[in-house]
Structure 1
Amino acid sequence: MANTYADREPVTRRTHDHPWVANLEADEHATNQQLTVAEAVDAVEQTQPDHFVDLVTHEQHGHPMSYLYKAVRSIDRSVTLSDEGRCSCGGYVTRVTVYRRD
Structure 2
Amino acid sequence: MSHPHEDVPPVTTEVHDNSWSANLETPEHAEDPEMVVDQAIDAVEKTTVGNHVNLVSHADHGHPETYLYDPLEEAFGDTISLEYVQQCGCGGHVTRVHREA
Q: Normalised by the size of structure 1, how large is the TM-score? A: 0.83
The number of residues matched between the two structures is 89
For residue 22 of structure 2, what is the aligned residue in structure 1?
A: 22
The alpha-carbon deviation at position 99 of structure 1 amounts to 1.2
For residue 90 of structure 2, what is the aligned residue in structure 1?
A: 89
- Find runs of 4+ consecutive structure 1 residues off by over 4 angstroms: none
> Which one-letter code corresponds to 1:39 in the other structure?
Q
Could you tell me how far apart the structure 2 residues matched to 1:15 and 1:37 are? 18
Matched, 1:80 2:81: yes
The alpha-carbon deviation at position 13 of structure 1 amounts to 5.0
Unaligned runs of 5+ in 1: 1-11
Which range moved further: 81-90 or 59-68? Answer: 81-90
Note the aligned Cα RMSD (angstroms): 1.2
> Which one-letter code corresponds to 2:81 in the other structure?
T
Q: Which has the larger radius of gyration?
A: 1
Could you tell me how far apart the structure 2 residues matched to 1:47 and 1:15 are? 6
Could you tell me how far apart the structure 2 residues matched to 1:84 and 1:35 are? 21
**Structure with higher helix content:** 2
Partner of 1:74, secondary structure, is helix
> Which one-letter code corresponds to 1:25 in the other structure?
E
- The alignment-based identity, stated in percent, is 43
For residue 67 of structure 1, what is the aligned residue in structure 2?
A: 67
Unaligned runs of 5+ in 2: 1-11
Could you tell me how far apart the structure 1 residues matched to 2:63 and 2:100 are? 24
